[in-house]
Structure formats: C-alpha cells, structure tokens
Chain A
C-alpha cells in the first residue's frame, strides 16, 4: 500500500514556547482508517492541522501524498475540525452553494443524500440549528467531497446515538471505497469499531503506534482498557 501521510521527527512549538509535538514520526498507508488518540493537549489536533496545511511544523518533514502540505494544503483532503463552526447567518442551502463554489470534487447529490441519512433539516438558518445538527451539516459538507483523504476530528461530538451510528456506518462505507480516513476521537469504543491502525500521543510524543489488535494483546482486553493502561504506565515512569 502507498504511504499517504508521512511524519518524520516532526516538532511543533507554538508562541510562548508551548511544545505541542516533540519529534513524532509515523506513516499512514492509503486505504486505512487510522486513529490518532491521546489525552487532552496531547497534540492530536495539531497533527491534523499540520496534515491539512493549516499550520507549519517547527521542525521535521511532513509529506501528504508526496508533497509538503503547508501553506496551500492538498485538494485531495477533506477536513472536519473539532470546532465545527459555520456561517451562522446562512441557510443550510446557501451554505451548500457557498461550499460547492470552492470545495473540490463536491457532489450536491451526495450532500442531499447525506442530509437525508443524517436527518438534517435543509431550509433552516444555521444559527437555528442545534450543536448536533451543526456537526451533522459539517459532516455532510465534508463527506460530500470525493477525495483521497478524510481528516475527522471528533466527528461524533454532540450527536445522538442514532446519528452517531449513522456516521460510523458512513465512515466504513467511505473506507470500503479505498479512501483513507484519519480519525481522532475521545470515544474509544467508536475508534475500536471503525479503525485498524493507530497512534497514541501524550504530551507531543508517541506512546504507541501499530494495530489496535496488537495494542489489545499487550495492554488490555479492549481499546479503552489498553489505552488507560498505557497512559497510566507512562505516568508512573
């Protein structure tokens, strides 16, 4: 399988000498559902933003589909950020028109279909939507792009169980088409359900990288227990 994302000794230091990533190296192969896990402040969102080309690493090499993503990103990536903010003054339909004007490979047909599947009201202003429905709208917009790589940061945050199950189903469907998904979430049961490979970050360093199965073999019977055991082991060092 081709390597779609490559991090080599990547560091990121924010203003005020805040170290977010401390020389991490990993690779993501195409066609995988790859999880990035870690406690709050571990560097997950920073990693996703670097892949997206939104921020530049302080040191190290980042390649996404063979090119450096900063500053222009890569039009073969679709990103769902942790903060799912949209233009509140717009109606859902107008937001779709706006998004389709610049988002590459956006399919209106797919968007309409996703709105139905996620039970999203179409003719309402975004500010009138609940946080859960805003998340659904963001997901519908991002997943209506037919690209090679999807970055999903807390994609099910604030969703009801039915919508959450639907999103996981969608993720599996997209992966079934040979697309790569990088998935970050604090809900480990979801991660265990959909992902195959992962890295676990803590304080900007990688605690573990490999398959979920091998992590469970060495650290616990399910992903939640394995994750907790690993993080606690590190804290007791």
Chain B
C-alpha cells in the first residue's frame, strides 16, 4: 500500500524536484557573474574598509566551497527543504478529513495500514527530493568545471535531509489535527518561524535545527555532528510513534 500512496504523490513530488533542480541551476550558472561584480573596482574600493580585509574577502569569494555555502547549501537549499517537507505533509490527513474521503479506506484497512502507508510514502519522497537537490548542485558544479568538496556536499545533504524529515513529521502531525488543508500549512509556517526566532536567544538556541542543517561549521570541521544528527532522527521517530497513537485513538 505504501507503493500505491507513493505513486499517488508522484506528480506533486516531480513538480517539487523540478523546482529544486531549477533553483539549484541559478547559483551555479551565475557564479561568474557574482565574482565579476565583486571584482569590479567600485566594490573592491568599498571592500578596503571591511574588517576582514580586501584580500581576505577576495580569497573567500574565489573559494567555490564558500560560494556554494553562501548561495545554496547555507541558504536556499535549506529553506527549500523545509518547504518540501511542508508541501509533502500538510495534506496527508487533512485532505481526506476535508473532503470526507477517509471512509473509502477506513475500516477496510487497519489504522496502522492507513497511517504507515501515508506517512512512509511522503517520508520517502521528502528525503528523495532533498537528497536530489543536494546532489544535483554538486553534479552540475562538476559538469561546469567547479571543484566542490564531495565530503561537504554529503554532510550538508545529510543534515538537510535529517532536518526536512523532522519537519515532515511535524507537518504530518499538524495535518492530523485539522479538518481543512489551509490550517496545517499556516501552523507549519508558524512553527518554523517560532523555531527560527528561538534560535536568536541563547536559552532556546538549541531548538533552531535550521541552524544545524546549513551549518557553516561544515567548512571548518567537515563533520556531520553525529549527536545533533542522531537527536533529529530520534525526535522524528518519537513524533512518528506519537502521531500513530493519536491517529489510532481518533474518531474519523
């Protein structure tokens, strides 16, 4: 049944893959343009007053790893990963509740069969889309002749996937709480904004897993951050169990 649900979501997933690939093309193809702008006399003149120093900034900008971090892995890619998680999860249960189509399968399948097939199918698609986004940028860079560290790409992609999967689980839960499709999206955005805001305060900084997904520390330490990575996966698994028990005890 997971395969059937997987096929049901294929059109949505293909559109998301096309968007992620399309947006990853922009920074690679505009690399020369961006470095050209920074190399212009006007910008170089202004860089003289920068605390890092003109030479320092020029060195950073000519580093394709840094450029990729600034333009893709540290920014847009992570936002897109969260958007993918929201899009793949918001309608998981709310759509059937809104359209009263749960009765097609409820009773004919056990709650576990309904829940697991739905959640796993979206989970696989979310992870696949995020991984494709990370790897496509790397392959395109290589094809364009830019040297990008494969290790860093693997780490950023793994981190983004773990974060997206966690947010997918959050989205699956909010989808279960409402009988309309718009409310889970709004709540997901509110939760994401809340987590970003929490990251601004010392006491709640640990809640901002978005900071981990696109961590700049990858460029220095080249480390996955196994502890944080494991914590994200454990929270995802915990949410999965909680969601199931909530679904099992809910009236449909």
**Chain A residues engaging chain B, CB cutoff 8 angstroms:** 49, 52-56, 69, 71-75, 77-79, 81, 83, 85-88, 98-99, 101-104, 141, 145
Contacts and interface: CB of A to CB of B under 8 A. Distances in A.
Contacts of B249: 56, 71
A83 B108 contact: no
Nearest to A73: B107
Interface size class of B (residues with CB under 8 A): 20 to 34
A71 B248 contact: yes
Contacts of A74: 107
A145 B105 CA distance: 13
Which of B100, B104, B105: most chain A CB closer than 10 A?
A: B104
Given A55-B251, A102-B105, A71 B111 contact: yes
Nearest to A81: B103
B242 interface: no
Interface in B1-54: 1, 4, 8
B99 A54 contact: no
Nearest to A78: B108
Given A101-B1, A102-B1, A72 B111 contact: yes
A101 B109 CA distance: 10
B217 interface: no
A87 B101 contact: yes
B108 A73 contact: yes
Contacts of A56: 249, 251
Contact of A83 (B103, B105, B252): B103
B4 A72 contact: no
Interface string B90-116: 000000000111111111111111000
Contacts of B111: 71-72
Interface string B164-190: 000000000000000000000000000
Contacts of B106: 52-54, 73
Given A73-B109, A86-B104, 6 more contacts: A52-B103, A73-B106, A73-B108, A73-B110, A74-B107, A78-B108
Contacts of A49: 251-252
A85 B106 CA distance: 13
Interface of B: 1, 4, 8, 99-113, 248-249, 251-252
A52 B107 contact: yes
27 contacts: A52-B103, A53-B106, A54-B103, A54-B106, A54-B251, A54-B252, A71-B111, A72-B111, A73-B106, A73-B108, A74-B107, A78-B108, A79-B107, A83-B100, A83-B103, A85-B103, A86-B101, A88-B99, A98-B4, A98-B8, A99-B104, A101-B1, A102-B4, A102-B105, A102-B108, A102-B113, A145-B108
Contacts of A53: 106-107
Nearest to B11: A89
B150 to A, nearest CB: 40
B4 A85 contact: no
B108 A103 contact: yes
A102 B1 CA distance: 7
A194 B129 CA distance: 54
A30 to B, nearest CB: 18
B1 A75 contact: no
A73 B251 CA distance: 12
Nearest to A153: B103
B179 to A, nearest CB: 12
A69 B109 CA distance: 12
Contacts of A78: 108
B70 to A, nearest CB: 41
Nearest to A97: B4
A56 B251 CA distance: 7
Contacts of A69: 107
A141 B103 CA distance: 12
Contacts of B112: 72
Contacts of B251: 49, 54-56
